[in-house]
Amino acid sequence: MEVTLTKQKTFKLEPFGRFTIKFLKRNKNIAPRTIPLFELECEHETAYPLGDFENEFVKLMKKHKTDIFTDGSYFGFYTRTGSGMTRVFHQKFIDYRENKGGFKDVVDGEL
C-alpha cells in the first residue's frame, strides 16, 4: 500500500503583539512581553508544515518583532515550532487582546 498524505489548510495570519518566546530556567524578573517556553501551551496536533513558507514566516517574525501570529479568532494564536506552525496558548495573549490594565500598551511600548 502506498499512501501520500499532506496536511493542508489556508490561514490568514496577522502579527500579534511584540511577544518573544524564550528558554528560561526561572520565572523571575521577566519582561511582560517575554513568555517562558515551559509556560507556553502547544497544541501539537494542530501543527502544519510550513514547507516553502518557512523563510517568509521567519522574515515576518523579525519584521514585526514578534513570535506570535493570530488568525483573528479568540484562541487562534500560532508560532513556529520544529514541526512547522503550531497553535499555542498563554494567558498573556488574552490579557493583551482584552488590554487588561493597559497590558497591551506595556507590551508594545517596551523595547
Structural domain containing residue 74: 14-24+33-109
* Cα 8–chain centre separation: 19
Candidates 110, 82, 84, 83; CA nearest to 92 is 110
Asked whether residue 49 is domain-assigned, the answer is yes
- What pTM was computed for the model? 0.86
Asked whether residue 3 is domain-assigned, the answer is no
Cα→Cα distances 32→10, 60, 86, 98, Å = 31, 21, 22, 15
Q: Domains in the chain: how many in total?
A: 1
What does the alpha-carbon distance between residue 33 and residue 21 come to, in Å, rounded to a whole number? 9
pLDDT tens string, the chain, 111 residues long: the values are 787 767 778 889 999 999 999 998 777 788 899 999 999 999 988 888 888 888 999 999 999 999 999 999 999 999 999 888 999 999 999 999 999 888 998 888 865
Contacts of 55 (CB under 8 A, 6+ apart): none
